[in-house]
Structure 1
Amino acid sequence: MLRLRYSLPLSVLSFSLLPLTAAISTAAQAQSANQLEPVTVTTTRGNSEAGETPQKITVINRDEIEQQMAITNDQAQVLSNLIPSYSPSRQKLTNSGETFRGRDPLFLIDGIPQSNPLRDGSRDGYTIDLAMVERIEVIHGASAEHGLGATGGIINFVTRRPEGTELRQHIGVGVSAPTDYESDGLSYETDYRLEGIHGDWDFLLGGAYKSRGLFYDADGRAVGIDQAQGDTMDSQSYDVFMKIGYWLDDTQNLELSVNRFELEGNHDYVGIDGDRANGVPATSVKGDPAGDPVRNEALTTSLSYRNTDLAGNDVRLQLYTQRFRARYGGDTFGTFQDPTIAPAGTLFDQSQNESDKYGAKFTLTRDG
C-alpha cells in the first residue's frame, strides 16, 4: 500500500500559533467587560402550541382484522402486528410486560373501560373475542380523559353493528396446527352472527368459540406454560354478544349492548424449567397442575342514548357496568409460607381478582 505523509516544520508551526493566542486573549477581555443575561431556550419535537397539540389516531378496520386472524387469534399479537409502538405479544393470558409506546394502554369496549386500577391484574386485554369487533380505534399518547390510566394511549374495541335491511346470517370456522403436526397442538374455532333491521328496530346476536392447543416453537418443542399468570394455549374461550337498538326518530336512538366473555385453561399440562446456562428452554409436559385452572371472565353491559341534532349538537349519554373475574395459577410459593398457618412448604396459595364497575358518560360534540 502506498502512503503519502507530509511533516510541517516546527518552527513554522510555532510562529503560526502566536497570532491566534493573542486573538483569544483579546476576546476573553471583551467578554469579561460585557456580561450577558441568562438565556432560556425551549423546544418540542414538532411545531405545536400549548393546548392545541393533536394526538395521532389509528383506525384498524375489519378487513385488516380478518387478515390478521388468518394468522393468529391472539388479540395482543394482532395489535403488535398492526401498531408499531405496541410491544410484541407474549401470547399469555396476562398481558403484563406488553406496553404501548413503552407504557400501559387503557383498553375499552365501545368506550367502556376494561381496566381495574384498584387491583390491576393485567388481564384487561382479553375481555372480548375479535369476531365481535368491527374496528379498533387507537389513540397514541397519554390521556386522562377516562380517568382510569392511559399512560401509553387508548385502545378501543368498537363492536359490530347490524348491516343491510334484511335478515342476515354468518357462520365461520377455522382450524390451525403446528407446522410439524402434533395432535395436541391442534386449534379450532367457530363463530356465528344473526343480524337485521326491521322498521325502527335493529339487532345483532353473535357467538364465538375457540379451542386452543399447545404452542410449539420453531424447533418443534412445546412452549413452557405459565402456571402462575396464565396462558392462552391449552385453553377454551367463548363470547356471547347482543346488541339491540330502537330509533325514536331520524336523529334519536336507544341502544342496549351486552357482551359475555370467558377464557379458561384446560389444566392438562405442567411446566418444566429450562436451563439458561446450557441453552435449554422451558417446556410443557402432560400433567395435573395443582389448584383450579386459570380463567378470565368479563360481563360488559351498556345502555346508551344518542341525539345527532340537539340544537346543532351531537349528544350521547351512556350508562355502563362491568363484572370482572380473573383467576391466577397457584402453588406452594415460598413467599407465602407461614408456619403459624400450616407447615412450611405446604401452604397452597391461589388468588382471584374480582372487580365490579358502574359508570356513566356524557358526550357533546359540535362542529367548529
Structure 2
Amino acid sequence: MKYAYVALTTKALLLASAASAMAQSTPPRREPDVRPAAVDDVEVVAQNLEQTLPLTLAQYGSPLEIVTAKQIKDSGFIDVVQALELLVPGVTVSTQAGAFSYANISLQGSRNSDVLWTIDGVRIGNRLYNSTSPADTLPASMVERVEVLKGGQGLFYGTQAVAGVINVVTRPFTEEWKGAVSAGLDSNDGSHLNGSVGGGVGRHRVVLWGSRDQSDGYELYDAYQPNTDLKNRTYDVRSLGLKYGYAFTDDLHLTAQYILTDAKLDYPSVRGVSVNDRKETIAIGRLDYTPSDRVQLYLKAYHHQWDTDYYTRPAPSAYWGYEDFGLNAMAELKLNKGLAYTVGYEFQNYRGRDDVLLIAGETEQVHAAFGQIRTTDDFSRKLRLAAGVRVNSTPKTDSTVWNLSGAYDITDNLHFDAMVGTSFLLPDAQQLYGIDLCCSRGNPALKPEESFNINVGLSGRIGDQAWLISGWDRRIDNLITSDTSNPPAGYPSLFVNIDAEVKARGFEVTTRGPLGAGFNYLLSYTYSQERARGTNVQIAGRPEHSGKAILSWRSEGPFGADLSAKYIGQTESVVSGFGTQAYGDYWVANLGGHVWLDPSNRTRRLNVRVENLFDTNYATSVASAVLTGSSPSTRFLYHRLGAPRTFYVSLSQSF
C-alpha cells in the first residue's frame, strides 16, 4: 500500500522556482513535458489535488517561486519572513521589528493587503485589518517549503490574492520513523529550540513538531520621547503542530492537523511599548479521494481562531481577535481526451472583534463557486492552456473574477508563460465597521476592490545557466481609502470607494547556475513602478528598484556556506512637519555556514549565521511625533531601524 502524501524532491520543486537553485549543484531546467513525473529525481508517492495545485498552476503560466526547508536550514533563518526577504526574487520585504514581527511585503508592486497568506492552503490573513501581515507567528522550523504564487490568484484562492499567494507548507508525513532536535543562541540574548518526530504504522501516519524562540531584541528607533525607557523589542513565540493521517483504502485518505501558537510580542513606539499577548489555533481536516487517474476529489474543513490581549503599559489590556471557519471542496475530472476540468465550492464564515476600534463581533459569510478547464498532453505536449471563472457572494455584494493562462515550450531551452485575469479584495472589518473617534469611520456600504492583472514571462537556458525575464501590469479600481471631504460628525474621515486607479507595473530579471568548484549563484533585479491615477510620482513607501544575490558553496567534505543579500532602492514618504523624506538605498547581507560533525552519517550538524553581516545602519520607514512637553508643539523626526548585526549558533541532531 502507498500512503497518500506527496514526496516531491527539491529538484522537482525547482521546476518553477528560481530561488531554489541554491539547493542544487545544477540549475533547474524546464522540459517540454513539465509534468512532475517527467523531471529527474521526482518521487511522487501519490497525488494530492490541493497540495499539487500551485505546481499545476505554474505549469499553466502562473509565476511560482519555492523556498525549501533545506534552503532555510542552510541559511540559518529562524522565521519565514527572513527566508522570503533574502531568497525569493520579485518579493520586497522589510520587517517592522526584526524576527517574528509584522512585515511590509510588496509582491510585484503590491500592498500588504494584496497578498494572501495561507498555511497548508488555509487562509490566515487578518480580515479585521487586511493591511496586517500574519507573518509574526511563523517559525521556520515548521516549514517543509514556502510556495509563492505571483500575479492575480483570485480564481482558486478568493479575496486578497490580488498580487499573489504565500502558502506555508508544514512538515510532511514519512513512512519511516525519523526525527530531529535543534538548540541555538543569538547575540541579542535569544534562544531557539525546536524538534520534530514522525513516521507510520500500517495505514497510520503522524508527525509532531514544536519550537520556542525568544529574544530581547534590539532598539527599533534612532530617536525617542525623553521619558521613554523601554526601547528593545522582545519576543517569545511557542508553536506546536500535530498532523495525523489514515488511509481507509489506497484511494481514500484522511488528514487531520492542529497548530497552536502562543506568543508574547512587543511592539515599541517612540513613547512606549505596546504588547500583543496572543494565542492562535488552526485545525484542519481533509479527505482525499482518487478513484482513478481520471478523477480526483477532496473535501476540507478548517477552523482558525486568533485571540489577542493588547495593551500599552500601564494601560489595561483590550481584546482583539477573530474566528474564521469554512469548507472547501474541489474535483478534477478528465472526462475526455485532451481536456481536464476543475470545479469547486468554498464557504467562509468570519467573525471579528476589536475593543479598541469598537468592532463589535461583526460576522461575514462568503459563498463561492469556481471552475477551470485545462488542456492536457493529449492536446499538446508543448502548449498548455487554461481558463476559469469564480463567482463570490456575500450578504452585501457579489463579485465575479476570471482567469486565462498559458505556457508554450518554444524549444527545449526556451519557454513562454502568460496570464491575464481579474481578482478582488473584500473590505476588512475596520473599513466596514470601525467606529473609534480617533480614526476613519467604517462604511458598511463599501464595495470590493477589483483588479485587472497581466503577467508574461520568458525563460530559458544557455548551457548550464538558466535565466528568466518576466513583467506584470496590474490596475485596481474601486479603491478603498479615507475621505476627509465630508466625514460623519466627530470623525476625521470616512472609508469610501473612489474612482482613483492604482497602477503597478514592472519587470524582474533573474539568472542562476553553477560557477564550478562547488559554487552556485542567483542574481535577481526587480523594477516596480506604482502610480495613482493622474500622477507620475511613485506611491509613498514603495521602492522602484530592488535586487537579490545568493552565492552558495558545497564542499566534497562536511562543509557548506550560503551568502545572501538584498538591495532596497531609495524610497520616499511624506512626513508630517518635514515634507518628503528619502530613506532606503541599502544592501543587507546574511552569511550562513554549517559543518557536519559526523561526516559519514550526517546526523549531527553545527550551524552558524551572521545577520546583517556588515552591520549596515538602515531605515525601513520614517515618521514624526510631537515632542512631549513642548510648547508650542514641536515635532521630531525618527526612523524605524533594521536589525543590527546579530550572531546565531545552533546544534542539531537527527535520528
Counterpart contact for 1:143–1:150, Cα < 8 Å: yes
Name the larger-Rg structure.
1
**Alignment correspondent of 2:193:** 190
Larger displacement relative to structure 2 (116-125 or 323-332) = 323-332
In structure 1, C-alpha distance between the alignment counterparts of 2:92 and 2:310, rounded to whole Å: 23
In structure 1, C-alpha distance between the alignment counterparts of 2:326 and 2:82, rounded to whole Å: 30
Q: Deviation string for 1:238-296 (max 9, x for gaps)? A: 101000100011121101110011221369xx6557xxxxxxxxxxxxxxx577x3234
Q: How far did residue 214 of structure 1 move?
A: 2.0
> Does the C-alpha gap of structure 1 residues 95 and 193 become closer, same or farther in structure 2, counting only changes over 3 Å?
same
> Does the C-alpha gap of structure 1 residues 125 and 303 become closer, same or farther in structure 2, counting only changes over 3 Å?
same
**Alignment correspondent of 2:324:** 357
Counterpart contact for 1:306–1:317, Cα < 8 Å: yes
Q: Of 136, 150, 154, which aligns to 1:140?
A: 150
Residue 161, structure 1, aligned to residue 172, structure 2:
yes
Task: Name the SS of the counterpart of 1:294 in structure 2.
Answer: strand
> Does the C-alpha gap of structure 1 residues 126 and 309 become closer, same or farther in structure 2, counting only changes over 3 Å?
farther
Q: Deviation string for 1:148-189 (max 9, x for gaps)? A: 311221000011112232x32311111121xxxxxxx22111
Counterpart contact for 1:65–1:78, Cα < 8 Å: yes
**Alignment correspondent of 1:239:** 239
> Does the C-alpha gap of structure 1 residues 232 and 262 become closer, same or farther in structure 2, counting only changes over 3 Å?
farther
Task: Name the SS of the counterpart of 1:238 in structure 2.
Answer: strand
**Alignment correspondent of 1:316:** 298
**Alignment correspondent of 2:83:** 78
In structure 1, C-alpha distance between the alignment counterparts of 2:158 and 2:85, rounded to whole Å: 25
Counterpart contact for 1:236–1:264, Cα < 8 Å: yes
In structure 1, C-alpha distance between the alignment counterparts of 2:81 and 2:118, rounded to whole Å: 14
| Aligned positions of 1:82-231 closer than 5 A | 82-92=87-97, 95=102, 97-103=104-110, 104=112, 105-120=115-130, 122-144=132-154, 145-165=156-176, 167-177=177-187, 185-215=188-218, 222-224=219-221
Counterpart contact for 2:116–2:165, Cα < 8 Å: yes
Gaps of 5+ in 2: 1-58, 226-230, 334-339, 341-375, 377-655
> Does the C-alpha gap of structure 1 residues 319 and 232 become closer, same or farther in structure 2, counting only changes over 3 Å?
farther
In structure 1, C-alpha distance between the alignment counterparts of 2:292 and 2:126, rounded to whole Å: 34
Residue 264, structure 1, aligned to residue 297, structure 2:
no
In structure 1, C-alpha distance between the alignment counterparts of 2:60 and 2:247, rounded to whole Å: 37
> Does the C-alpha gap of structure 1 residues 122 and 329 become closer, same or farther in structure 2, counting only changes over 3 Å?
farther
> Does the C-alpha gap of structure 1 residues 331 and 87 become closer, same or farther in structure 2, counting only changes over 3 Å?
farther
Residue 65, structure 1, aligned to residue 72, structure 2:
yes
Counterpart contact for 1:123–1:326, Cα < 8 Å: no
In structure 2, C-alpha distance between the alignment counterparts of 1:126 and 1:199, rounded to whole Å: 37
Counterpart contact for 1:326–1:352, Cα < 8 Å: yes
In structure 2, C-alpha distance between the alignment counterparts of 1:252 and 1:200, rounded to whole Å: 11
In structure 1, C-alpha distance between the alignment counterparts of 2:172 and 2:60, rounded to whole Å: 32
In structure 2, C-alpha distance between the alignment counterparts of 1:359 and 1:232, rounded to whole Å: 39
> Does the C-alpha gap of structure 1 residues 224 and 327 become closer, same or farther in structure 2, counting only changes over 3 Å?
farther
Paired residue total = 265
Counterpart contact for 2:306–2:323, Cα < 8 Å: yes
Q: Which has the higher contact order (CA 8 A, sep 6+)?
A: 2
Letter in 1 for 2:201: H
Task: Name the SS of the counterpart of 2:179 in structure 1.
Answer: strand
Q: By percentage of residues, which structure has more helix?
A: 1
Letter in 2 for 1:56: P
Task: Name the SS of the counterpart of 1:134 in structure 2.
Answer: strand
In structure 2, C-alpha distance between the alignment counterparts of 1:84 and 1:302, rounded to whole Å: 31
Q: Of 263, 274, 277, which aligns to 1:295?
A: 277
Letter in 2 for 1:97: N
> Does the C-alpha gap of structure 1 residues 94 and 169 become closer, same or farther in structure 2, counting only changes over 3 Å?
closer
Task: Name the SS of the counterpart of 1:102 in structure 2.
Answer: coil
In structure 2, C-alpha distance between the alignment counterparts of 1:318 and 1:232, rounded to whole Å: 42
> Does the C-alpha gap of structure 1 residues 240 and 123 become closer, same or farther in structure 2, counting only changes over 3 Å?
same
Q: Deviation string for 1:2-55 (max 9, x for gaps)? A: xxxxxxxxxxxxxxxxxxxxxxxxxxxxxxxxxxxxxxxxxxxxxxxxxx9721
Counterpart contact for 2:93–2:103, Cα < 8 Å: no
Counterpart contact for 1:58–1:137, Cα < 8 Å: yes
Counterpart contact for 1:74–1:91, Cα < 8 Å: no
In structure 2, C-alpha distance between the alignment counterparts of 1:324 and 1:252, rounded to whole Å: 32
In structure 2, C-alpha distance between the alignment counterparts of 1:307 and 1:329, rounded to whole Å: 47
Q: TM-score, normalised on structure 1?
A: 0.64
> Does the C-alpha gap of structure 1 residues 234 and 362 become closer, same or farther in structure 2, counting only changes over 3 Å?
same
In structure 2, C-alpha distance between the alignment counterparts of 1:187 and 1:127, rounded to whole Å: 16
Counterpart contact for 1:305–1:316, Cα < 8 Å: yes
Q: By percentage of residues, which structure has more strand?
A: 2
In structure 1, C-alpha distance between the alignment counterparts of 2:217 and 2:102, rounded to whole Å: 19
| Aligned positions of 1:248-263 closer than 5 A | 248-263=248-263
Counterpart contact for 1:129–1:261, Cα < 8 Å: no
Counterpart contact for 1:127–1:296, Cα < 8 Å: no
Q: How far did residue 96 of structure 1 move?
A: 5.4
In structure 1, C-alpha distance between the alignment counterparts of 2:105 and 2:312, rounded to whole Å: 23
In structure 2, C-alpha distance between the alignment counterparts of 1:308 and 1:53, rounded to whole Å: 22
Q: TM-score, normalised on structure 2?
A: 0.37
**Alignment correspondent of 1:307:** 289
In structure 1, C-alpha distance between the alignment counterparts of 2:96 and 2:260, rounded to whole Å: 22
Task: Name the SS of the counterpart of 2:86 in structure 1.
Answer: helix
In structure 1, C-alpha distance between the alignment counterparts of 2:74 and 2:309, rounded to whole Å: 31
In structure 2, C-alpha distance between the alignment counterparts of 1:141 and 1:123, rounded to whole Å: 18
Counterpart contact for 1:176–1:186, Cα < 8 Å: yes
Letter in 2 for 1:364: A
Q: How far did residue 117 of structure 1 move?
A: 2.2
Q: How far did residue 84 of structure 1 move?
A: 2.4
**Alignment correspondent of 1:32:** none
Q: Deviation string for 1:300-334 (max 9, x for gaps)? A: 110000012357212111100100124445379xx
> Does the C-alpha gap of structure 1 residues 195 and 107 become closer, same or farther in structure 2, counting only changes over 3 Å?
same
Task: Name the SS of the counterpart of 1:151 in structure 2.
Answer: coil
